[in-house]
Chains A and B, each alone.
Chain A
């Protein structure tokens, strides 16, 4: 645990709000979450978008929750994560320019 606290990612995660490190860490978390849900096979649950449960024996709550979780992380992965990454680069450039 202590070695994790010393790690670069831990420091990045707890870095100041809206800094390049903050943006990068959030971008990485989104990617990890998306890949985790993807490899769990939650993509199948997105059939709730068209009002169909992915399995006829399941209650509605479980597939709806899974479908929403997958959908949200997917859309964050393709839109928010790259924006966070570009924001980090821009801030880094701003800071460099400011220092010069």
Chain B
């Protein structure tokens, strides 16, 4: 009996030592040179392969319907957001690679036209989750900032690449509507869902306003500065200093800071108040960003906030609180802030746990979906559009 226990003990000791040897070095097998993904001077090969998959989707009606339908089965918002992130990506790629501009603009226009058509024929609810119909919007007539903000952003970035008069008119109309509605709200934010203002959507709208100013020569700086003052005073979580993710029309906090929201908010704020955006990134990185044994990931909530597992957070792995939604969008936050170290650890996790698959020059991540891959693509190519707008404003 004693020798058997000794034998089991020895076996367990061997297992523990082996774990201590292997686990800290696993990440080395999945670590790739970040320049394969991020390249400031040219579009990386990985980004091109990822974009090729999306371009293929928009060139093949049947394939696109099939892919979008799969996502819509879980969340209609993803269909819409997948379009936004793809347009953002392609606009950046078009500026980075002028020789392919025509190809990218063709897809961008196709996405914008299709989105406007769906909005016109089926209404905003086509892209919203079903609970949008459960109660009434406070502000009348009913509109969703989720739809308005992102459509404006799509058209705006398209026009940064190449001004198209038809789109410029649409942008001006949409921005006027957005600003008028935001100005009426006590916290200068308007609803995406009934009595729910989302920081994600209002930040996207702010970025669209800023780009629209750059394009048209209009000036909404006073409005933007007022929005920032109110946000810093009333829309920040008192425990972490991070902007809350959702609040009522009157500014009462609903959800606290969320990873699936703040990382993209940081990207939008980079255009309107870089100092504040960097402060938000530092806080989000501290509260939500984690790296364990070389693997980077992000939590959905800080320790001080307990939120539900929902469609935004995606599934959450217990103990470490790894959120698929927050980790995916963390790429955008880290890339916007130039945090190469965190990006590199996130990429290691991507190669380890997102199941990349390459076929016919296209790259996709099996554990992801169209919107997830579009977010990743955006993080790999973002920069040129924001830089062009910022340079224009400075002039």
Contacts and interface: CB of A to CB of B under 8 A. Distances in A.
Interface in A39-98: 43-47, 49-56, 74, 78-79, 82-88, 90-91, 94
A55 B366 contact: no
Contacts of A16: 7
Given A17-B8, A17-B11, A18-B11, A79 B22 contact: yes
A78 B69 CA distance: 33
B355 A43 contact: yes
Contacts of A43: 355, 357, 366
Contacts of A90: 14, 17-18
Residue from the set A55, A74, A82, A84 with the largest chain B CB neighbour count within 10 Å:
A82
A47 B369 contact: yes
Contacts, number: 99
Contacts of A44: 357, 366
Given A18-B11, A78-B26, A94-B10, A50 B368 contact: yes
A78 B352 contact: yes
A48 B394 CA distance: 46
B286 interface: no
Nearest to A91: B14
A54 B366 CA distance: 9
B197 to A, nearest CB: 25
B15 interface: yes
B66 A56 contact: yes
Contact of A18 (B12, B23, B26): B12
Contacts of B367: 46-47, 49-50
A23 B18 CA distance: 11
Interface residues of B, number: 37
Contact of A53 (B15, B70, B314, B368): B70
Given A83-B15, A91-B11, A91-B14, A46 B355 contact: yes
Interface string B113-153: 00000000000000000000000000000000000000000
B9 to A, nearest CB: 9
By secondary structure, the B interface counts as: helix
A23 B74 CA distance: 41
B73 A91 contact: no
A86 B18 contact: yes
A96 B372 CA distance: 52
Given A50-B314, A52-B74, A53-B73, A83 B66 contact: no
A57 to B, nearest CB: 9
A53 to B, nearest CB: 6
Contact of B18 (A17, A19, A83): A83
Contacts of A49: 314-315, 324, 367-368
Contacts of B319: none
Nearest to B12: A18
Contact of A87 (B18, B29, B66, B368): B18
Contacts of A17: 8, 11
Contacts of A94: 10, 14
Contacts of B372: 50
Contacts of A79: 22-23, 26
A76 to B, nearest CB: 13
B75 interface: yes
25 contacts: A17-B8, A18-B8, A18-B12, A19-B11, A44-B357, A45-B366, A49-B314, A49-B315, A50-B315, A50-B324, A50-B372, A51-B74, A51-B75, A51-B311, A52-B74, A56-B70, A78-B352, A82-B18, A84-B18, A85-B18, A86-B18, A87-B11, A87-B18, A90-B14, A91-B14
Given A18-B10, A51-B314, A52-B70, 10 more contacts: A46-B355, A47-B366, A49-B314, A50-B368, A50-B369, A53-B73, A78-B26, A82-B22, A83-B18, A86-B18
Interface of A: 16-19, 22-23, 43-47, 49-56, 74, 78-79, 82-88, 90-91, 94
